[in-house]
Chain A
Amino acid sequence: KAGVTQTPRYLIKTRGQQVTLSCSPISGHRSVSWYQQTPGQGLQFLFEYFSETQRNKGNFPGRFSGRQFSNSRSEMNVSTLELGDSALYLCASSPNAANTEAFFGQGTRLTVV
């Protein structure tokens, strides 16, 4: 069974640009969550989706948005990139609606210059 797949693995963007990251969950998983990992702030929750509905959102500005498609694949978008958005963005999928026992992807390393 394939794991959680995130694309691309690495990305370099310029300040002010926007970026879209993609996540394919494990087959059959309908719960998808996104996290930002930085040395300064650690692992922080961004959003959580279940069956195309955003159920929870973390404390991030409106520049961060996401969506989930009918096949459970998810994308997150960051507009007007800032240097501080440089981070490892992690996606996780869960086999249950409670979002427990989550499996993480390898992440997308975003560098904003």
Chain B
Amino acid sequence: GENVEQHPSTLSVQEGDSAVIKCTYSDSASNYFPWYKQELGKGPQLIIDIRSNVGEKKDQRIAVTLNKTAKHFSLHITETQPEDSAVYFCAASTSGGSYIPTFGRGTSLIVHP
């Protein structure tokens, strides 16, 4: 089955800095890669996703890049703000009729004011 590794497990940055979270996956058939943000006491919230036919996708301060050859994808957050502090999860999934995600272990992002 699919295996997703996520690094780092904790990331501490100053407000205004950039943050990068990296994930690798094992199944070359995976073709849908969502990223989720989970705040304390809440469920995960989809923040951006990318499909395998695209190398990069951007949404305001958030961007995701995908390297299918190397089987890794990354989340980039620019101009970080304290409200960006949360746990971020990457996931990889293959369509067998429907996409079932395999999640990374999460990155706790702390943005210091």
> Chain A: residues with CB nearer than 8 A to chain B?
4, 31, 33, 42-45, 48, 50, 55-56, 58, 90, 92, 97-107
> Chain B: residues with CB nearer than 8 A to chain A?
32, 34, 36, 41-46, 49, 89, 95-106
CB pair A56–B46 under 8 Å, yes or no, is no
Question: In the complex, which of the residues B32, B45, B96, B104 contacts A104, with contact meaning CB atoms closer than 8 Å?
Answer: B45
CB pair A104–B98 under 8 Å, yes or no, is no
CB pair B105–A42 under 8 Å, yes or no, is yes
Question: In the complex, which of the residues B36, B42, B99 contacts A100, with contact meaning CB atoms closer than 8 Å?
Answer: B99
- With A33-B100, A42-B103, A50-B98 known, 19 other A-B pairs at CB within 8 A are A42-B105, A42-B106, A43-B44, A45-B100, A45-B101, A48-B98, A55-B98, A56-B100, A97-B98, A98-B95, A98-B98, A98-B99, A101-B34, A101-B49, A102-B34, A104-B43, A104-B45, A106-B42, A106-B43
